[in-house]
Structure 1
Amino acid sequence: MINPAKIEEIAKQISGNLPQGVKNLADTFESKTKQAIQNKLAEMDFVSREEFDIQSKVLIRTREKLAELEAKVAEIEAKLDSDKHAE
């Protein structure tokens, strides 16, 4: 996710380069812009890194379990097939 501190740093750089007479307007612009960007980012439905990592671990465990179950099914199918040929 985008770092709010980086957004603030960019906004300060922009306002720092404006003429002194425009400082009040720049301060208002900075806070409103930062607020608007943060609101839009919040609406984008991003997941946190922590949530992503947790879901990745769940997926790995699920894949491992699936591989185990596939091996068991193959073993049972092989046994049934050998039993069928033994008859």
Structure 2
Amino acid sequence: MINQKLIDGLSDQFAQLMSGQAQLPGEEMMKEQVSAILQGTFNRLDLVTRDEFDAQKAVLMRTREKVEQLEKTLAELEQKLTERDA
């Protein structure tokens, strides 16, 4: 899932954009609400971290290599059967 520091950083940046001044009344509440909105949005998007993505990519690459190896082995066996039957 998305790191909480990312959510906090985005909500802080949003609060700075909105205020542009020193601490305003209600600013902390606004930060909490923005943080909650961002967290909810990211949860609905079902995002993953770069590390999770890279790990799944590595698994997929290994699986693809195994499939290609099995396809090659199958083609060789089929060739042998064809030659034997001929």
Uncovered stretches (5+) of structure 1, i.e. residues with no partner: none
Q: Any idea what the Cα deviations from partners look like across 1:6-59, whole Å, max 9, x if unmatched?
A: 413422313542587xx1123322221122212221232112222211111111
Larger-gyration structure (1/2): 1
User: After superposition, where does 1:8-27 map in structure 2 within 5 Å?
Assistant: 8-17=11-20, 23-27=24-28
1:40 matched residue in structure 2: 41
What TM-score comes out, normalization by structure 1 length? 0.74
2:73 is the alignment partner of 1:72: yes
Deviation at 1:66, TM superposition (A): 0.8
Q: How many residues align?
A: 83
Uncovered stretches (5+) of structure 2, i.e. residues with no partner: none
Deviation at 1:72, TM superposition (A): 0.8
2:51 matched residue in structure 1: 50
**Larger relative contact order (C-alpha < 8 A, sep ≥ 6)?**
2
CA distance in 1, matches of 2:29, 2:18: 10
What TM-score comes out, normalization by structure 2 length? 0.74
| AA of the residue aligned to 2:83 | S
Q: Report if the CA contact (8 A) 1:12-1:30 is conserved.
A: yes
Following superposition, which runs of at least 4 residues in structure 1 exceed 6 angstroms of deviation?
none
Q: Percent identity?
A: 29
Structure 1 residues 5, 19: closer, same or farther in 2, change over 3 A? closer
